[in-house]
Chain A
Amino acid sequence: MAVIELKNIVHTYRKGKKETEALRGVNLTFTEGCPAALLGPSGCGKTTLLNILSGLLKPTSGQVLFDGKDVTDLSTEERNIGMLFQFPVVYDSMNVFNNLAFPLRNRKVGPAEVKERVREVARLLDLAEVLGSFPRQLTPSQKQLLALGRGIVREDTAVILLDEPMTQIDVHQRWELRRELSKVQGSLNITMIYVTHDQYEALTFAEKVVIMKDGLVVQEGSPEELYGNPKTPFVGYFIGTPGMNILDCRLAKTGLDFKGFKKEITPELRAKIETYGPDFKLGIRPEFVHCGLVQQKGWFPLKVKVVEDRGEFKIVTLTSDAEELKSQVPSDLAAEEGGTVWVNFLEDKMKIYKDDRMIN
Chain B
Amino acid sequence: MKNKVLVLLLPSLLLMSISAFVPLMTVLNYSLHVLFSGSIPKYIGLENYVNALKDPAFLSSMGKQFLFCLEILLIEIPMGLALALLLPKRGIMIGPILVLLGIPLLIPWNVVGIIWRVFAREDIGALPVIFSKLGFFYNVSKVPAHAWWTIVIMDVWHWTPLVTLLCYAGLQAIPQEFYQAARVDSASKIATFRYITLPKLKYVLIIAVLLRCMDAFKIYDEPFILTAGGPGTSTELLSIFTSRQVIGGFNMGYSSAVSLIYFIVVLLLCYILYTVMTKIGEH
Contacts and interface: CB of A to CB of B under 8 A. Distances in A.
Interface stretch (A74-82, A112-120, A226-234, A267-275): A74-82
Contacts of A56: 180, 183
Contacts of A76: 180, 183-184
Contacts, number: 54
A75 B188 CA distance: 14
Given A89-B178, A91-B196, A91-B199, A151 B183 contact: no
Contacts of B186: 77, 103, 106-107
B91 interface: no
B108 interface: no
A266 interface: no
Nearest to A79: B184
B152 to A, nearest CB: 32
A151 B184 contact: yes
Contacts of A86: 177
* B183, B186, B191, B196: most-surrounded residue (chain A CB, <10 A): B186
B181 A85 contact: yes
Interface string B196-235: 1011100000000000000000000000000000000000
B185 interface: yes
A38 interface: no
Contact of B195 (A54, A91, A147): A91
Interface residues of B, number: 17
Contacts of B199: 91-93
A247 interface: no
Contacts of A91: 195-196, 199
Interface in A35-86: 54, 56, 75-77, 81-83, 85-86
Contacts of B195: 91, 93-94, 102
Contacts of B198: 93
B180 A83 contact: yes
B268 interface: no
A89 B199 CA distance: 13
A147 B180 CA distance: 12
Nearest to B188: A106
A150 interface: yes
Contacts of A150: 181, 184-185
B183 to A, nearest CB: 4
Given A54-B180, A56-B180, A76-B180, A87 B175 contact: yes
Contact of B185 (A54, A87, A93, A102): A102
A82 B183 CA distance: 10
Contacts of B13: none
A89 B188 contact: no
Contacts of B188: 106
Contact of A54 (B184, B191, B196): B184
Nearest to A106: B186
Given A91-B196, A93-B195, A93-B199, A103 B185 contact: yes
Nearest to B183: A76
Contacts of A151: 184
Contact of B180 (A85, A94, A106): A85
B187 interface: yes
B191 A106 contact: yes
A117 B177 CA distance: 25
* A54, A76, A91: most-surrounded residue (chain B CB, <10 A): A91
Nearest to A151: B184
* B177, B178, B184: most-surrounded residue (chain A CB, <10 A): B184
A145 to B, nearest CB: 14
A81 B196 contact: no
A252 B188 CA distance: 70
Interface in A285-313: none
Contacts of B185: 102-103, 106, 150
Contacts of B178: 89
Given A92-B199, A103-B186, A83 B191 contact: no
Contacts of B175: 87, 89
Contacts of A94: 195
B181 to A, nearest CB: 4
Given A87-B175, A91-B196, A147 B181 contact: yes
Nearest to A98: B195
A89 B181 contact: yes
5 contacts: A77-B184, A77-B186, A103-B186, A106-B185, A150-B185
Interface of A: 54, 56, 75-77, 81-83, 85-87, 89, 91-94, 102-103, 106-107, 147, 150-151
Given A85-B177, A147-B181, 16 more contacts: A54-B184, A77-B184, A85-B180, A85-B181, A87-B177, A89-B175, A89-B177, A89-B178, A93-B199, A94-B195, A102-B191, A102-B195, A103-B184, A106-B186, A106-B191, A150-B181
Query: Would you list the 4 A-B pairs with minimal beta carbon distance, nearest first?
Result: A93-B199, A103-B185, A76-B183, A89-B181
